[in-house]
Amino acid sequence: MPSLKYHLVAFVLRHTRKKAFASAEGLHARIRKVRPREDHRPPAKVAQRLDITEREVAGFPVYEAKPKGKAAAQRILYIHGGAFCFQMTPHHWNLVAELAERTDAHVTVPIYPLAPEHGLPAVEAMMIEVYREVLGNGEPVAVMGDSAGGTMALALTMTAAKEGWPLPDRLVLISPGIDMTLRNPKVRDYARVDPWLDIPGGTEAMRLYGGDIALDDWRISPLYGDLSILPPMLVFCGTHDILYPDAVLFIDKVRALGKTVDLAIGERMFHVWPLIDMPEARPARDRMVAFLTA
């Protein structure tokens, strides 16, 4: 049975985030309300745990986080989620800190431009530069992303394959957006039990991000890209997430191509549950560590 903390978080989500994604107007209201007070900087407790430096790429911050007093044994590029409209959060930073410490990793964390002020071309330009810097040394690199960050991790990998650039050693995707047209009929069924996401607000977020680019473009919906080039993957998705049915479809297509992919299903779990401080997140994080250190 889900924990008490799970039920509390789901209750709060249903009465806050769900309303934001229930309509285009709700999403815009949420952007106006929370964006002015969002802070992408690492919380003080995280900054004390890690060695963190900050630089700029294309005018936007990029953090380099390393375990204190240790030589990094591997490299991770972590791309945060937020429907391309919302900022890096302490939840993301806590996961970054845990992964850096438990896997002895140097983690690169780009703070990419957000919609509606910036769209896909600006985000893509900045993230391609970061990607090429991180993967340009020929060392193994894991690319990770949650939600929209998972979408971007897949799109960057497909772009790299198309351009002949180095590919990640592996991908870790947490509740990724796979088909952001959201036209799979099963999505409506899952919207009824999802305490966080909904179709109208999700579609509006993708419209703000993509602009005139069609939602079935592989840069927005990686399901329609070249799946044959993907490296080994670990994918997390909960059964109370509107993105779940397309994640399963994606996994089936990738496996049919003979690729290595592991789907970690969170029964009754909501969107990006491994980021949340609750008992159900612990096995998921352990599984990430095992995958990254295998």
User: Does pTM top 0.95 for this prediction?
Assistant: yes
Is the distance from CB of 78 to CB of 106 less than 8 angstroms? no
In the predicted structure, residue 71 carries a pLDDT above the cut 90: no
pLDDT attached to residue 204: 98
> Average per-residue pLDDT in the chain?
97
pLDDT attached to residue 162: 97
pLDDT attached to residue 47: 97
Q: Specify the CATH number for 4-293; select among 3.40.50.150, 3.20.20.70, 3.40.50.1820, 3.30.930.10.
A: 3.40.50.1820
139-155 per-position pLDDT tens digit: 899 999 999 999 999 99
Give the Å distances, CA to CA, from 122 to 49, 109, 138, 273. Answer: 32, 17, 26, 29
pLDDT attached to residue 251: 97
> Residue 1: which pLDDT band, with cuts at 50, 70 and 90?
confident
pLDDT attached to residue 150: 98
How far apart are the C-alpha atoms of 107 and 105, rounded to whole Å? Answer: 6
Residues 118-135 as b or e (16 or more Cβ within 10 Å = b):
bbbebbbebbbebbeebb
pLDDT attached to residue 70: 85
Q: Which residue has the tokens 């090429």?
A: 132
